Structure 1
Amino acid sequence: MERIYLLEDDDSIRKLVIYALGSQGYEAQGFDRPSDFWSAMEGPQPALILLDIMLPEEDGLSILQKLRASAATKRIPVIMLTAKNTEYDRVVGLDSGADDFISKPFGMMELVARVRAVLRRTEQKPETEDYQVGDLFVSPQRHVVRVAGEEVPLTNKEFELLCLLLEHQGMAMTRDAIMDGVWGQEFSRENRTLDVHVRTLRTKLGAAGHYIETVRGVGYKIGGAS
């Protein structure tokens, strides 16, 4: 049975979510304070974390950054729960390492569906090969990106985007296929999240940024004939 932790200070929301997850076969445990959550994290690790942004003691984005900075917890998928509903907040949360973002109020069945989707998308994958395109080197297994020998730090979503394009090297991937592969089918297609991530990824890759090509009317690709 997969264990899920929920950090939410609203008692009514916390109880409803715990009940909904439990009815679907998950072992769900809720916390109303970050201090209690961190104490629980010293024990067995959960398969997924549901994390509110507005919390007492410490805000959710700060907690997310700590989770992603630790080798022990950086791979645990995190879904952010928040009353905020602007594209900027979504991009900030996803760039900080969140795997999904659900705005309040939300339906319990929608939440369960998103949990299932994130768990499927982030399940342990078999060992993959390293990639070399010109000066760009990427090791998906070791989570390493180098350009001309210099390591390039990327956010989780930027790294997933880069690996997805390399996995389909030489192929023009549609915008929808990229969004499904990196953010999941439930994520809105109406915002500019993909374009923002491609732009920042190109900037961070510097001289190797031009390897990510825009295919007009389709999407993006890496490698192959221009």
Structure 2
Amino acid sequence: MSADRPLILLVEDEPAQREILAYNLRAEDYEVFETDRGDEVMSMIADLSPDVVVLDWMLPGLSGIEICRMMKARGETRSIPVIMLSARSSEADKVRGLETGADDYMVKPYSVVELVARIRTQLRRSRPSAAGTVLVYDDITLDPETHKVTRDGSEIALGPTEFRLLTTLMERPGRVWTRDQLLDRVWGRDIFVDTRTVDVHIGRLRKSLGIHGGVDHLRTVRGTGYALG
């Protein structure tokens, strides 16, 4: 897997529908994980840290509405966009889904092309670098298209791993990432790297960002991982 690809968690219990969606999402170069059971979703989210969750309303084990409610009640999952899929087409059902916390709502049958477009819209918020959006945090600016990082106007040279690491941290300022989550996001899930490698590269990134002075924005959370700010 490419560590830069956005990750979509697809939760759908209709096999044919799930297969079609997964095929089209992978064709868009997204990494896709699938499940047909509602009671597996929260543990998968904890393991995968998806960028978008495509969530069917009616599921065995736990309904999509309950999953969405749980996600939006927890600080670590609240910001993950949820696109709710449902055969329920009434205005009241749509309102209920959105009020539960879903970021978007699509009624079955729907256009796969439209769903992919809506996923892209949500990714602009959860993974802005994937859309080429320039990221800014305090005096640090990162341009994902030119691969340039500046701090207070001075350009900072970063290796590719430190660049991906900073991109991940800048996309969600304040979020605490565990070492395992950073390994998955920055190095990729199919690469075996010791978690101490994360500490080494965080040290390099911290040194590079401080080369011209300024506040150290990288926060070490003892026993957990790292955050920006």
With structure 1 as the length reference, what TM-score do the two structures score? 0.53
What residue is the counterpart of 2:97 in the other structure? 93
Q: Which moved further from structure 2: 115-124 or 53-62?
A: 115-124
1:62 aligns with 2:54: no
What residue is the counterpart of 1:112 in the other structure? 116
Q: Which moved further from structure 2: 36-45 or 53-62?
A: 36-45
Q: Percent identity?
A: 38
How many angstroms apart in 1 are the aligned matches of 2:125 and 2:45?
23
Deviations 1:112-144 (A, max 9, x none): 01111122245568579xxxxxxxxxxxx99xx
How many angstroms apart in 2 are the aligned matches of 1:42 and 1:123?
17
* Number of equivalenced pairs: 130
1:87 Cα deviation after fit: 1.2
State the one-letter code of the partner of 2:63.
D
1:102 aligns with 2:106: yes
How many angstroms apart in 2 are the aligned matches of 1:75 and 1:69?
10
8 Å CA contact 2:42, 2:67 repeated in 1:
no
The unaligned stretches of length 5 or more in structure 2 are 129-134, 139-172, 175-229
More contact order relative to length (CA 8 Å, sep ≥ 6): 2
1:44 Cα deviation after fit: 2.8
What residue is the counterpart of 1:23 in the other structure? 27
After TM superposition, which residue ranges in structure 1, 4 or more long, deviate above 4 angstroms?
Answer: 121-128
State the one-letter code of the partner of 1:27.
E
Structure 1 residues 42, 87: closer, same or farther in 2, change over 3 A?
same
What residue is the counterpart of 1:203 in the other structure? none
Deviations 1:154-206 (A, max 9, x none): xxxxxxxxxxxxxxxxxxxxxxxxxxxxxxxxxxxxxxxxxxxxxxxxxxxxx
For 2:48, what is the secondary structure of its paired residue? coil
For 2:85, what is the secondary structure of its paired residue? strand
The unaligned stretches of length 5 or more in structure 1 are 129-140, 143-226
How many angstroms apart in 1 are the aligned matches of 2:121 and 2:25?
14
